[in-house]
Structure 1
Amino acid sequence: MDSYEDLVALTDKLTSRFSELSDSIKAAEKRMVEIGALQTHINNYSKTRKTYEAYLKSGYSKTFFEEHRDELMLHKAAKQAFDQLDGKKVPSRHALHEEFNRLLVEKKQAYAEYRQVKKEMQEYLIAKQTVEHILGIDRHKRVEEKKQQKEEQR
């Protein structure tokens, strides 16, 4: 590193990459939760299908409904979850399992890089703060200047 500007550029690059990795990990985790919920609904739908069919044959009997309330409510919740797929076909258990495993691998890889980038970012941010302190650079002034430059570019 030859200059303060290089240090600033590197810290900005590391901070940006850190944010990208963090967003990627969060997106993978969110999708994994969605997959888990969908798998649960698929399983519940399969388990309760015969009960629901019997309920239909009973002519929507209130007595039958009360006797099998829990199963019928699970079935209804599963159907509602499938309806929220916006016309998409309900994925197979196998496809969901594969997607979950792929996301898990991607998350683990991203997390390994995330830890490394976080460590480097923190080290360079400390170095940058030290240089700013030694050189008497006012960080607040720099932040305001950056904001002004961005506004001028718009």
Structure 2
Amino acid sequence: KFRNFWNSSFAIRRVSDRICLEHGLSIVKNPKLRSKGKFKNYGEWLGDNKPPTFQERLRAQIDAALLQKPADFTAFLSLMEAAGYEVKQGRRGSLSFRAPGQERFTRCRASTLGEGYGPEDIRAVIEGRAPLPSSRAAGPVKQGRKLNLIIDIQTRLQGKGPAYERWAKVFNLKQMAAALAYLQDNGLTEYEQLEKKAEQATEHFHTLAGKIKTVEAALATNTELKGATVNYAKTRSVFEAYKAARYSRKYLAEHEAEIEIYRAARATMSAILDGAKLPKMDRLKEEGRKLAAEKKELYAEYREARREMREVTTAKANIDYLLGLTGQEKNKEQER
């Protein structure tokens, strides 16, 4: 029996959170009151994590089915049924789909799903008379959404409930659509093009990483040489006096620290210069500034290359998963 008491809502919230955690559902940690900050409705709070609508899921599944290159329209409908969709064909060539858990059918037509999603448009793509329009791949994917790897649901279900399975299926649909959007945006119509782009992006990333290591090593050497030069200049007079005193033990005891710094500076300079002439300090400073500027430029290019490499390799991995080109199956496909 519910008993209304002071701050009973907080007690109910604690019970609700505990039940949600036990069943693998999400909770809102430390929710802000209206008076404590800007209030967000549920849709705003979800943001990019908002689950796709049935229409978005249907568009993504149509794209995924067409990507498998069905032989004819009947094979396309079979792929949709295999994905769990119920197919209904009406009079005059009308076509509707219903996803698991959906109450009503969704008509497959341009006015409902968007341009290029009518039955005739799908037939044109299957027959090769029309390519996949960019709106198909980009439709269900929001700009700026990160492209992640598709989850192998079966290997992760142990110890997790049906809520996780539902979330994972929706997540995979989003990532399949994102992968298709990436292919379409970059004009990658063949698998070999995607594979080549992934190799080039990876090679470019590793090349930049090697350049950065080289520049960082040169910058560290430059800094070390400048420090050794400064220490040498500061302690040279002390060591000259030590020599003039004919290496007196008394003088050494009084200036041992300065003499050790001098000797360490000489050893560092000898190791770095390897018999070459010591450059002037102005030249060392100018070289250090150039190396620092080059490092900054390389890091900007490196971050962009890393983002591009992650994006294309993730898209390729998702396409491989979608086409079943993983492990030995991929090797067999390449041999064919």
Whether 2:324 is the aligned partner of 1:131: answer no
Which of 253, 256, 278 aligns to 1:90? It is 278
Q: 2:324 touches 2:330 (CA, 8 Å); kept in 1?
A: no
Per the alignment, residue 26 of structure 1 pairs with: 213
Taking the aligned partners of 2:312 and 2:229, their CA distance within structure 1 comes to 48
Per the alignment, residue 37 of structure 1 pairs with: 224
Q: 1:32 touches 1:103 (CA, 8 Å); kept in 2?
A: yes
Q: 1:39 touches 1:96 (CA, 8 Å); kept in 2?
A: yes
Aligned residues: 145
Taking the aligned partners of 1:138 and 1:24, their CA distance within structure 2 comes to 33
Larger RCO (CA within 8 A; separation ≥ 6): 1
Whether 2:227 is the aligned partner of 1:56: answer no
Taking the aligned partners of 1:3 and 1:51, their CA distance within structure 2 comes to 73
Unaligned runs of at least 5 residues, structure 1: 147-154
User: How far is the alpha carbon of 1:83 from its aligned partner?
Assistant: 1.8
Taking the aligned partners of 1:98 and 1:142, their CA distance within structure 2 comes to 53
Whether 2:305 is the aligned partner of 1:117: answer yes
Whether 2:296 is the aligned partner of 1:108: answer yes
User: How far is the alpha carbon of 1:142 from its aligned partner?
Assistant: 5.5
Whether 2:5 is the aligned partner of 1:5: answer no
TM-score, length-normalised on structure 1? 0.88
Q: 1:132 touches 1:139 (CA, 8 Å); kept in 2?
A: no
Q: Which runs of 4+ in 1 moved over 6 A?
A: none
Structure 1 counterpart of 2:253, which letter? E
User: How far is the alpha carbon of 1:124 from its aligned partner?
Assistant: 0.7
- Structure with the higher fraction of residues in helix conformation: 1
In structure 2, the CA distance between the partners of 1:69 and 1:110, relative to structure 1 (3 Å rule), is same
Percent of aligned pairs sharing the same letter: 34
User: How far is the alpha carbon of 1:139 from its aligned partner?
Assistant: 3.9
Taking the aligned partners of 2:296 and 2:328, their CA distance within structure 1 comes to 37
Per the alignment, residue 76 of structure 1 pairs with: 263
CA RMSD between the two structures: 1.9
Greater displacement, 131-140 / 30-39 = 131-140
Unaligned runs of at least 5 residues, structure 2: 1-187
